């Protein structure tokens, strides 16, 4: 459990440091030069959750509901991480926890989340892009993937024994 909390804290710190740099170094609305035609730094703010869901909602929904959901998720993740003895699942839950805490911090401090990583492919019709995201979002997605892998491996082993490797 201690290693999981340290990993979650490291994700939170990395997320907050990168967002602080973006806020200080890049003006809102910034769209940097493309790197290799597939990536650019941007500075956008997201008042919604998961791919800007509820972005246009009123302040009660935009802040209240999102903070409530985030707090419940963080508490649930701490509980699940405590009970996990599988490295894949525990590590994945720690990444999700750190990411959720990072985005929750943004919502509490700013009322919105700072996003700055933007990947795209240029086509004849313009850019085919993934929505801008941040370190917390990347940790959440990676962590969810690790939880799935851990559960698949556990299922393949045919028992509930933890991965002792």
Q: Annotated catalytic sites, by residue?
A: 115, 137
Joined together, the tokens standing for residue 92 give 């994945």
Neighbours of 113 (CB within 10 A): 26
Greater confidence (4 vs 105) lies with 105
Contact 92, 143 (CB under 8 A): yes
Choose the most confident range, by mean pLDDT, from 21-25, 66-70, 88-92: 21-25
Per-residue confidence (pLDDT) for residue 111, from 0 to 100: 84
Per-residue confidence (pLDDT) for residue 71, from 0 to 100: 77
Greater confidence (73 vs 5) lies with 5
Choose the most confident range, by mean pLDDT, from 57-66, 67-76, 149-158: 149-158
Q: Where are the domains of the chain?
A: 2-157
- Does pLDDT of 115 surpass 80? yes
Mean pLDDT taken over the chain: 85
Per-residue confidence (pLDDT) for residue 5, from 0 to 100: 87
Tens digit of pLDDT for each residue in 71-107? 787 777 777 766 667 888 889 999 999 999 999 899 8
Contact 38, 121 (CB under 8 A): yes
CB-based contacts of 98, cutoff 8 Å, min separation 6:
7, 8, 9, 10, 11, 12, 15, 136, 139, 143
**pTM score, whole prediction:** 0.80
């Amino acid at each position: 459990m201690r290693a999981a909390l340290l990993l979650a804290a490291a994700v939170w710190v990395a997320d907050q440091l990168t967002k602080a740099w973006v806020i200080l170094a890049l003006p809102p609305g910034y769209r940097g030069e493309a790197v290799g035609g597939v990536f650019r730094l941007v500075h956008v703010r997201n008042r919604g959750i998961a791919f800007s869901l509820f972005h246009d909602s009123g302040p009660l929904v935009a802040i209240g509901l999102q903070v409530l959901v985030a707090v419940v998720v963080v508490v649930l993740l701490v509980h699940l991480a405590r009970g996990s003895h599988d490295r894949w699942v525990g590590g994945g839950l720690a990444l999700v926890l750190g990411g959720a805490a990072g985005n929750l911090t943004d919502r509490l401090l700013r009322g919105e989340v700072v996003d700055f990583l933007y990947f795209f492919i240029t086509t004849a019709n313009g850019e085919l892009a993934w929505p801008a995201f941040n370190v917390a979002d990347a940790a959440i997605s990676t962590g969810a993937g690790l939880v799935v892998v851990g559960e698949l491996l556990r299922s393949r082993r045919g028992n509930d024994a933890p991965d002792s490797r």
